[in-house]
Amino acid sequence: MSHTLNNSSNSTIEVIVAAQAQAASQTLPVTISHNENPVKFTGENFKTWQQKMLFYLTMLNMKTFLKDDPPIFRVDEKDAIIAFNIVKAWNNFDFLCCNYILKRLSDEIYEIYSIKKKAKKLRVSLDHKYKTEDVGAKKFIVSKFLNFVMVDSKAVVNQVQEFQLIIHGILVEGMYISESFQITTIIEKLPPTWNDFNNCLKHKRKEIKVENLIVRLRIEEDNRGRYLCEEYHRLHKRQNSSRISRLLVS
């Protein structure tokens, strides 16, 4: 009976060691040729930098060190030397992965995070810091989008282009805004004196693109400018005629 238990225990240890050896062989990095490193992270555009860094580490077959914990070495394992070497190899490559990431941080950020000695802990710390800031940036840009107001005292086309920059910022942050929604929002945000033109656009059944909308706004704005100029000249002419009439009467 005791012999059977020993055999069972030995078999279990062999399975564990074999599984660890197989996992290590699948996840340890391979040597590849690579000419370009991701640009150094300076504190901005974290999501973009993170995606490039993830691709880079995947090419080096180091992605697993960002999410997995190291294998556990137990002194009571049958082949302690193999298990020890597996853990040692893991730690060595984890060290390399961690320093690959640190190497792609600016000097200022490196000074803060160089105390992290494990790739997973470094990744979690960077996520916690900069993904939280990304959420704040998203809320800020969305707030600018919602609160943007066009006024009559500025050129409408210039204000639309300014609003487009806000929309571009939202798209860069990974949030989707359909073109039809962009157009509807631009029309709704036109100044009060543009209400007639606003209503006219709303009743257009054929969908238009943003570029076409801007062309229409530019034409309308030019026409309004010419109309105001003509009105000014007519008023000025009437004032001059009235002044001349008064002089003749006197």
What pLDDT score was predicted for residue 108? 93
- DSSP character at residue 70: P
Please answer whether residues 223 and 231 qualify as being in contact, where contact means their C-beta atoms are separated by less than 8 angstroms. no
117 and 19 in a single domain? The answer is: yes
Range of the domain at 126: 2-132
In a domain, residue 42? The reply is yes
103 and 173 in a single domain? The answer is no
Picking from 78, 99, 132, the residue at the C-terminal end of a domain is 132
Question: What pLDDT does 101 receive?
Answer: 95
8 Å CB contact between 154 and 181: no
Instruction: Indicate if the pLDDT at residue 9 is higher than 50.
Output: no
Question: Any idea which residue has 């969305």 for tokens?
Answer: 142
Answer yes or no: do 125 and 19 share one domain.
Answer: yes
Q: How confident is the model at residue 16 (pLDDT cuts 50, 70, 90)?
A: very low
In a domain, 180, yes or no: yes
Q: Is residue 148's pLDDT more than 90?
A: yes
Taking the C-alpha atoms of residue 1 and residue 7, their distance in angstroms, rounded to an integer, is 10
Mean pLDDT, residues 143-167: 93
72 and 100 inside one domain: yes
Overall size of the chain counted in residues: 250
pLDDT category, 162, cuts 50, 70, 90? Answer: very high
For 183-242, how does the pLDDT look when each residue is reduced to its tens digit (9 = 90+)?
999 999 999 988 888 888 877 757 788 899 999 999 988 887 775 565 555 665 565 556
> How many domains in the chain?
2
Residue 118 in any domain: the answer is: yes
Q: Which amino acid is at 155?
A: A
Residue with tokens 């909308």: 213
Chain mean pLDDT for the chain? 79
Do 175 and 210 belong to one domain?
yes
With beta carbons less than 8 A apart as the criterion, state whether 150 and 159 touch: yes
**Co-location of 122 and 154 in the same domain:** no
| Residue 125 and residue 30 share a domain | yes
| Same domain as 94, residue 62 | yes
Is 141 part of any domain?
A: no
Q: Could you tell me if 127 and 158 lie in one domain?
A: no
Least confident of 80-84, 96-100, 145-149, 154-158: 80-84
Could you tell me the pLDDT band of residue 19, with boundaries at 50, 70 and 90? very low
DSSP-assigned letters across all residues of 135-183: HHHHHHHHHHHHH----TTS-HHHHHHHHHHHHHHHHHTT----HHHHH
Are 125 and 169 within one domain? no
Of 97, 132, 167, the residue that ends a domain is 132
Structure tokens at 178: 């359909």
Domain boundary among 93, 108, 132: 132
